[in-house]
Amino acid sequence: MNLSSRLEAARGIPPSAATTAAPSAPVPGTPAVPAPRPVVVPVAPPTDALARLKDRVGKALFERMGARMNDPSLSEDALRAIVLGELDEVVEEENVPLSTDERLRLTAELADDVLGYGPLQRLLDDSAVSEIMVNGPDAIYVERSGRLERTTTRFASEEHLRRVIDRIVSRVGRRIDESSPLVDARLADGSRVNAIIPPLAFSGSTLTIRKFSKDPFTVEDLINFGTLSPEMAELLNACVEARLNVIVSGGTGTGKTTLLNVLSSFIPEGERIVTIEDAVELQLQQDHVVRLESRPPNIEGKGAITIRDLVRNSLRMRPDRIVVGECRGGESLDMLQAMNTGHDGSLSTVHANTPRDAIARLETLVLMAGMDLPLRAIREQIASAVDVVVQITRLRDGTRRVTHVTEVQGMEGETVTLQDAFLFDYSAGVDAHGTFLGKPVPTGVRPRFTDKFDDLGIKLSPRVFGAVEPAGGRGW
């Protein structure tokens, strides 16, 4: 008997006669007459009955909890214990016959609504899910192993989805309403959140969550994933230790922030690190880290603190390293100035599809600073400031690979000259499942910055530059 039938029985509603009457036996010798088709009374699916019960229990629970829901003196564990205790009492008062599985499901879903992020909580707790995309209350997609798939999870209504969005953004001091219908925020674990609501989102409130691992990925993890080769990791470790300025380049969703986090793990202990981000995502493991976060304007349109403001301020904070989560505007000029004026070893990311595009992108971002600088002066600043461009790409099989480690050698006429030290070998082809078989391999060209390694006593294994350049490899 399903939940709907048990609820009807509990309310004293008799079962339909059409569905319970036994068919009469035919009289011998009479022609067979087709029995009339029984009238089947439509029964609501169990999920609907459980949803109605969940709605009643949820309202009763909020009434019982009252102001205790927002009591700052209660820790999260204490609040969870109180909520679960009250929830058990409310379910008992409903006096509805529930199976063990239904009771556990009801309790878990209500606890997620009250203490977590509703239907999204299970997806957030699933370590196999790397990204969650909510396209309105009825369409929730996830990314698993680089592949998109639609889930059966849904919100009860648009209002339910908006409550979850409000809970996320309010916990980091952001807001979302008709006057400010889009927002960037983050979860407690650093996962990146973007939300946009009607009227801008025509199909309903849209929420995108890019999850971060609770345990930050290490360089060994990236090597095991095939993102880096051991030789490439050894070279990048030496670059960071030698205080070279590194730009991580890649498209959206390629893993730039993850790679930046791994590169920052190479920074030696004892250095003062200042990180600057729109929403704090980096998970640096060093002790001496100052984390700065930009601030959007208030409801009056005032009080905004931009990334550029924070970069300028960081220069007065005696940093050994400046790590900018992403250069996307005029702060690029200030970042280049910092790299050129004694703040060596700085790290940042930029959106671009190749190392050459990354240089062009930096030129465009510097022009956004509004200083009206000549293009040659900008290129000279870039060639002088940036030492290494690390290109990371999401391949069509869903894997993320570092496809270039490129040295910025300087200027040649009006052009910034680049030279690849590592390239991804596409010539290895793909297997039967469409997975790329290639790996990053050294081109055999020894970068000029390795002379600095010798001056600092940093030793590289002979195998780092020992391979022959793969087909198609070239320098600029």
User: What percent of the chain is predicted at pLDDT more than 70?
Assistant: 79
Query: What does pTM read for this prediction?
Result: 0.73
| DSSP structure string for 28-45 | TTSPP-PPPPP-PPP---
pLDDT band for 44, please (50, 70, 90 cuts). very low
User: What percent of the chain is predicted at pLDDT more than 90?
Assistant: 34
Predicted confidence (pLDDT) per residue in 88-136, tens digit:
777 777 666 767 777 777 777 777 776 778 888 889 888 889 899 999 9
Crossing angle of the two packed helices 256-264 and 230-241, in degrees rounded to 10: 60
Instruction: Compute φ and ψ for 100, nearest 5 degrees.
Output: -60, -45
CA 423, CA 440: separation in Å to the nearest integer?
5
Predicted confidence (pLDDT) per residue in 19-42, tens digit:
444 444 454 544 444 444 444 444
Angle CA 263–446–389, to nearest 5: 35
Q: Minimum mean pLDDT among 57-66, 102-111, 233-242, 409-418: which range?
A: 57-66
337, 235 Cβ separation under 8 angstroms: no
User: Mean pLDDT throughout 318-335?
Assistant: 90
pLDDT band for 1, please (50, 70, 90 cuts). low
pLDDT band for 72, please (50, 70, 90 cuts). low
Q: What is the pLDDT of residue 51?
A: 65
Judged against a pLDDT cut of 90, whether residue 249 lies above it is answered with yes
Task: Identify which of 3-12, 159-168, 344-353 has the greatest average pLDDT.
Answer: 344-353
pLDDT band for 15, please (50, 70, 90 cuts). low
CA 218, CA 392: separation in Å to the nearest integer?
16
